[in-house]
């Protein structure tokens, strides 16, 4: 089955969120926030919403009409997509579309503007979007997709309908992330073997740094719960008492905040900072 055949294929387990959107589709709010899940499922639900508002069936997306197919390919004339997964969402890009948002959609449905990983808004860009939301634009709807609503400008959230996806239940990291998290915990114990990993040019990009920090948080949850479902979480539970594990949690939270900041940071330096906090 191709992705065109079933728009719900990427949303298995998220039926509650799909139902909620279907219930408001006949009178869509100007803005919705999609939180929870992972980045891919948030984008999948945002695209489903665009299909739901533009499908030729006028109902549940068929996945076959031109609108559904074009939305799936990010080629729909009334779809604007800002991808925060690729970096900061800057003010010029937002301001550049204000004229478009001031116009009715090209087709018979709605113009849908999606901000993927909207926590990557620079402050000026978020404020520029806020001005657009304060001036109702008939036929234009907006989607802000982010891990948690708390990472967005509060005034944007207050003007939006919030839909929460189920959080992924993943207890084990990928082999690549496990290699990095194991090296980090080993460095905390021995003070050796870390900086060789991060010092090579291009060795760490923002995506990898984020996955390593999230992977460490996953191992920490296992250690704190006592489940110790992975060898690394078991080692952490043996090496650190409750206060030590809580300190690791604070360090990882600060690292995640740094990687999500609206100011560009060096991801390798963020990981190096995490490494040196526990030595």
Cα Rg, the chain, nearest whole Å: 21
232, pLDDT greater than 60 = yes
Bridge partners of 112? 79, 141
Supply the pTM of this predicted model: 0.70
SS3 170: coil
**Mean pLDDT throughout 63-76?**
95
Bridge partners of 228? none
- Top CATH class, 9-165: alpha beta
Please, what sign has the CA dihedral across residues 29, 33, 38, 42?
positive
The Cα 27–Cα 50 span in angstroms is: 14
The answer to whether the CB of 133 falls within 8 A of the CB of 156 is: yes
Q: C-alpha 181: how far from its chain's center? A: 21
Domain boundaries, the chain: 9-165, 175-277
- At residue 3 the predicted structure's pLDDT band, cuts being 50, 70 and 90, is very low
Question: Phi and psi dihedrals of 110, rounded to 5?
Answer: -120, 150
- At residue 110 the predicted structure's pLDDT band, cuts being 50, 70 and 90, is very high
262, pLDDT greater than 80 = no
Burial label for 99, CB within 10 Å (0-12, 13-18, 19+), is exposed
Look up tokens 């978020």; give the residue.
126
The Cα 223–Cα 234 span in angstroms is: 6
The answer to whether the CB of 22 falls within 8 A of the CB of 60 is: yes
């Amino acid at each position: 089955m191709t992705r065109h055949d079933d728009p719900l294929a990427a949303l298995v387990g998220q039926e509650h969120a799909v139902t909620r959107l279907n219930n408001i589709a006949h009178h869509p709010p100007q803005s919705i926030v999609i939180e929870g899940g992972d980045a891919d499922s948030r984008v999948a639900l945002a695209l489903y919403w665009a299909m739901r508002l533009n499908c030729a069936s006028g109902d549940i997306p068929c996945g076959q009409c031109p609108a559904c197919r074009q939305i799936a390919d990010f080629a729909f004339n009334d779809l604007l997509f800002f991808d925060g997964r690729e970096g900061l969402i800057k003010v010029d890009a937002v301001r550049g579309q204000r004229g478009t948002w001031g116009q009715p959609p090209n087709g018979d449905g709605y113009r849908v503007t999606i901000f993927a990983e909207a926590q990557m808004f620079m402050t000026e860009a978020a404020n520029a979007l806020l001005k657009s939301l304060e001036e109702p634009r008939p036929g234009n709807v907006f989607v802000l997709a982010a891990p948690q609503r708390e990472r967005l400008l509060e005034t944007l959230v207050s003007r939006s309908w919030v839909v929460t996806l189920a959080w992924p239940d993943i207890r084990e990291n990928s082999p690549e992330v496990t290699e990095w998290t194991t090296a980090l915990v080993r460095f905390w114990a021995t003070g050796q073997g870390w900086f060789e990993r991060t010092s090579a040019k291009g060795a760490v990009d923002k995506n990898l740094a984020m996955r390593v920090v999230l992977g460490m948080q996953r191992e920490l949850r296992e250690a704190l719960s006592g489940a110790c479902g992975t060898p690394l979480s078991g080692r952490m539970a043996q090496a650190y008492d409750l206060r030590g594990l809580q300190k690791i949690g604070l360090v990882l939270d600060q690292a995640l905040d740094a990687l999500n900041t609206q100011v560009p940071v060096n991801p390798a330096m963020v990981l190096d900072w995490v490494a040196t906090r526990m030595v």
